Amino acid sequence: MEVKDYLGKVRMPSQTVNPLFNYLGIVVEEINSERATLRLPVRHGFIQGAGIVAGGVLATVADEAMAHVVLANLEEGESTTTIEMNMRYLRPIKEGEIYTVARIVRKGRHIVTAEADVLDGESRLLAKAGASFMILR
């Protein structure tokens, strides 16, 4: 499936092209060449032993948001994969919704760098992420 076809389909509420989004409950708010915004309602299954959402859940939604803004910047016949990622956790979340806004920092010929802010429903910063993505041709 071409990237543009995928990006059109993943936006649909009943999409089936990204099973991970369905499994976690991720909702696409926006995807374009400037930003990708994903929303994730907190569910009981995301809570770890200390009573807060596990860091891996935040990392997953951040990675997906960054990957999708990268996808929106690719040419026909290209795809991408994450080659490194870092997270800085700043505030816990126990309930509500998680919003992740990702943007491109730099797009080179082979590597794209992106960053994401992970926010709660009151726009408080929960975490910051950065990642590098390889362009596959």
- How far apart (Å, rounded) are the C-alpha atoms in residues 89 and 96? 17
Query: What is the pLDDT, as a whole number, of residue 13?
Result: 86
Percent of the chain with pLDDT over 90: 95
Q: What is the mean pLDDT of residues 80-86?
A: 97
Query: What is the pLDDT, as a whole number, of residue 110?
Result: 97
Whichever domain contains 105, its CATH number is 3.10.129.10
Q: Positive or negative CA dihedral for 82, 75, 6, 9?
A: positive
Query: What is the pLDDT, as a whole number, of residue 47?
Result: 98
Higher pLDDT among residues 97 and 14, named by residue: 97
Q: What is the mean pLDDT of residues 11-30?
A: 95
- Structural domain total, the chain: 1
pLDDT at 1 over 90: no
Strand order in the sheet with 111-120: 27-31, 36-41, 97-107, 111-120, 125-136, 79-89
Q: What is the mean pLDDT of residues 10-23?
A: 94
Average pLDDT, the chain: 97
Domain that holds residue 31: 3-136
